[in-house]
């Protein structure tokens, strides 16, 4: 069974929707530049540009949309919600794709603010118009699960699966969500049903990744090794990420390093592989090499990986005993992600260690 990209599924990763699909970005230099700044995590610069309104801002609704996204990514959720609601109110009365896009971002704001009921109302409005929308069903389930409504969550998530039962990407995301909320066995049942239903029809990769998440490390390793040997260059990084982690789970860090290295040497450098290899190096207490990998990963400028890489770099410097550098990197991290309360507490700890080192 080949991996399937189905209707609505791309919306499951709202952060990746940012700035694609709006043809007028190229027509408007201000919006185009602001979009690039958001993609490269320069939220304050984007906010300043969009608020100042320098240049031609004839596409006022898209400017509000980008401003709301910038606030959301920065962690200013109240401002983001207010801005996105304003953008929604600027509709010309004809329902379009942008209205749904704005609604998803608004619901995300409400969830970040702990307003589960408000988020659910947004998804209910979407489902009233699009009753088979996978994204709305998934996000509704995620919101209910986070709020402790297991029955309601299961109803939404089961419906999403029934809409597209062969969608393994969706099933895996549902498993991960259940696991994050302490319901791993419930999530495994979603995966096991697919394993039993499709059996021999599954590709080596699909069998391997299902076994990976089901915790069948030996079977996963066998399937993923076969998949990696058969894969094209563009597919290798994703397979290697899972295959390497089968080794990590068993404490086989050198095996994992070899897997990541084999793909990094022959394929397009992938920030995620650098990150995993760095984690293995840290497990082996090879902190200098880990930092080198993390820097190499950051140099790829992959917005989906940069936050994790930078946070892990703080940890690597801390474990190496270089608290001055760890503190410096933490300041950089918090300038980009000021809403991370755990990192804020860690910064206080690093400041204390830094003071102790100078006494």
Residue where a domain terminates, one of 197, 228, 251: 197
pLDDT given for residue 112 in this prediction:
94
120 within domain boundaries: yes
Could you tell me if residue 214 is inside a domain?
A: yes
Q: At what angle do helices 233-249 and 271-283 cross, to 10 degrees?
A: 20
For 13-39, write each residue's pLDDT tens digit. 343 344 444 444 556 888 999 999 998
pLDDT band per the 50, 70, 90 thresholds, residue 340: confident
Q: What is the CATH number of the domain that holds 256?
A: 1.25.40.10
Domain boundary among 264, 284, 314: 264
How many residues in total does the chain contain?
Answer: 359
User: Are 143 and 170 within one domain?
Assistant: yes
| Average pLDDT of every residue of the chain | 89
Report yes or no: 194 and 171 within 8 Å, Cβ to Cβ. Answer: yes
Query: How many domains, in total, are found in the chain?
Result: 3
Q: Are residues 146 and 165 in the same domain?
A: yes
Nearest to 280 by CA among 302, 258, 307: 258
Quick: pLDDT tens for 223-252: 999 999 999 999 999 999 999 999 999 999
Burial class (CB in 10 A: 0-12, 13-18, 19+), 38: buried
Angle, CA of 100, 105 and 110, to the nearest 5°: 120
* 181 lies in the same domain as 218: no
Tens-digit pLDDT profile for residues 107-128: 999 999 999 999 999 999 999 9
Any domain includes 293: no
pLDDT digits (tens, 9 = 90+) for 150-193: 999 999 999 999 999 999 999 999 999 999 999 999 999 999 99
Q: Is residue 227 part of a domain?
A: yes
The pTM (predicted TM-score) of the whole model is: 0.82
Res 53: pLDDT:
64
Do 144 and 180 lie in a common domain?
A: yes
Mean pLDDT of 330-345: 83
End position of a domain, from candidates 139, 163, 197: 197
Shared-domain flag, residues 22 and 84: yes
């Amino acid at each position: 069974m080949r991996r399937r990209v189905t209707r609505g599924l791309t919306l499951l990763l709202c952060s990746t929707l940012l700035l694609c699909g709006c043809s007028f970005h190229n027509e408007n230099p201000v919006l185009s530049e602001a979009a690039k700044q958001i993609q490269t995590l320069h939220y304050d610069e984007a906010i300043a540009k969009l608020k100042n309104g320098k240049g031609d801002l004839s596409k006022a609704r898209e400017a509000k949309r980008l401003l709301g996204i910038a606030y959301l990514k920065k962690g200013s959720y109240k401002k983001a919600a207010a801005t996105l609601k304003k953008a929604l109110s600027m509709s010309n009365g004809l329902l379009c794709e942008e209205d749904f896009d704005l609604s998803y971002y608004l619901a995300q704001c409400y969830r970040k603010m702990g307003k589960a009921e408000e988020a659910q109302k947004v998804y209910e409005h979407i489902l009233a118009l699009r009753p088979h929308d996978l994204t709305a069903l998934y996000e509704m389930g995620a919101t209910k699960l986070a709020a402790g409504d297991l029955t309601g969550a299961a109803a939404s998530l089961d419906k999403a699966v029934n809409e597209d039962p062969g969608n393994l990407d969706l099933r895996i995301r549902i498993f991960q969500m259940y696991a994050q909320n302490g319901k791993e066995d419930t999530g495994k049942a979603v995966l096991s049903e697919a394993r039993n239903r499709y059996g021999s029809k599954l590709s080596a990769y699909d069998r391997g990744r299902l076994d990976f998440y089901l915790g069948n490390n030996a079977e996963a390793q066998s399937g993923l090794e076969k998949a990696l040997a058969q894969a094209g260059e563009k597919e290798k990084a994703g397979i290697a990420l899972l295959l390497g982690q089968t080794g990590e789970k068993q404490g086989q860090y050198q095996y994992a390093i070899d897997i990541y290295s084999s793909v990094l040497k022959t394929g397009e450098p992938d920030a995620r592989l650098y990150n995993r290899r760095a984690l293995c190096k840290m497990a082996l207490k090879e902190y200098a090499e880990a930092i080198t990998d993390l820097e190499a990963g950051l140099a790829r400028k992959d917005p989906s990986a940069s936050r994790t890489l930078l946070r892990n770099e703080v940890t690597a410097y801390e474990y190496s005993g270089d608290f001055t550098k760890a503190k410096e990197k933490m300041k950089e991290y918090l300038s980009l992600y000021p809403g991370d309360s755990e990192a804020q507490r860690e910064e206080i700890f690093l400041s204390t260690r830094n003071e102790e080192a100078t006494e």
